[in-house]
Amino acid sequence: MTQDAGSFKLEKLSPELVSVGQALPVDVFAKNGFLLLRKGHYVLTEEQKHKLETLGVTQTQPEKNVIASAAAAEEEEKRAELGPFEEMSNLYQRSRALLHQSIMVRSFPNAVLKLAQNIINMAETEPDAMIAAILLVPFRDYGPAHSVHSAGLLAFLTRRMALAPNQRETLLCAALTMNISMAELQDELFNQKEALSSLQRQDVEAHPLLSSAILREVGVEDDFWHTLVQTHHESLTGNGYPFALTRTLILPPAHIMHMADIVCAKLTPRRYRSALLPATALGHIFQRKDLEFDSTFATMLIKELGVYPPGSFVKLASDEIAVVTHRGEKPTAPKVAALRKIEGVPYIDPLLRETHHPAYKVIEPCSQQLAGVRPSYLSRLWKH
């Protein structure tokens, strides 16, 4: 049964529109007009799906093809209006659905591919904003966020690498799913101060192969994808796992994924410790070039990100705390926005500074806590 509502009709929600692990293509309302779930939000459980199918109605136009085209256009318009921080939060949510509900996700490989393509698009169109979002946007669950961070860094680093488009996409798909067998354990370890138990260590060391096995179960048939997942913890030192491969047997894409995995882990705080300063984390990687990390990749990491990546915080010669907004022509002279005097309160609006000028030269990196501002205060610096 339908009811007219001007040029629209209210219809009972079609079960075909609701799939666990998929975004809703329409807004879903209760019969009294209360919004149950907005279009674009993900259906995460069977219980939620049943509730929507039982209680939900949709507001649609009479012609189905008009509905589809209008919905697609509106979705694109909404995505264009999202700032990079909101977009990163959306990526976290989608990653969580994929990692925790993989069995229930329809066409799992395509869902992961679409997420990888969205990340690539973000890296191509707003690379500085994406790196800032990786450093600044808070998350609820570590595992899904770390997967997005690793894939985002890889998308950023591979922009000028000679990779075929499908190989680049598969590399990101592997990064998004490399820890699918230990998503819950990652969240547990995120809060754990103690050393790993023997059982936890066994699970960690087995996860490259277990993740590959799970991916087989949910329809991933790409051998390159599986190879990357299985070998993303192999090390040039020969002490990696699960195969302890020597340097010559590790595929370069698997090695750069390994490097991105470690970089992002260093940049992320734990419940019991702060994140390393980005400049410090990048320095650790560069110091290990030719030993643990390929020299070309480690050098590229510093060249692309700069010494002070977007989203990191610095002290200026002007006695101010600033956030790096964009990379500069020189790795040591990024574009920044001053937030406050070191001993003062935050400015009403961030003030752009030219760090190549001696008066505003970067003196040293500092922590986000010292900056004393919330990420939401900073998000406007990277608006479209």
Give the pairing type, strands 362-366 and 3-5. unpaired
Q: Residue 64: give the domain boundaries.
A: 3-77
Mark whether 62 and 101 lie in a shared domain: no
pLDDT given for residue 353 in this prediction: 95
pLDDT given for residue 75 in this prediction: 47
Query: In 3D, which of 277, 299, 185, 170 has the Cα closest to residue 232?
Result: 170
State which amino acid sits at residue 133: A
pLDDT given for residue 44 in this prediction: 66
Mark whether 97 and 69 lie in a shared domain: no
Domain boundary among 42, 77, 112: 77
CA distance 123 to 143: 21
Mark whether 281 and 335 lie in a shared domain: no
Mark whether 58 and 111 lie in a shared domain: no
Domain boundary among 49, 77, 105: 77
State which amino acid sits at residue 56: G
Mark whether 7 and 134 lie in a shared domain: no
CA distance 243 to 149: 25
Mark whether 373 and 338 lie in a shared domain: yes
Mean pLDDT per 10-residue section of the chain, whose length is 384 residues: 44 78 74 66 71 74 42 48 88 95 91 96 96 94 96 95 88 98 90 88 95 96 97 95 95 96 90 80 90 93 93 97 94 94 91 95 93 85 79
Distance of CA 140 to the CA centre of its chain: 12
CA distance 83 to 96: 20
pLDDT given for residue 41 in this prediction: 67
Mark whether 190 and 121 lie in a shared domain: yes
Domain count, the chain: 3
Domain boundary among 62, 77, 92: 77
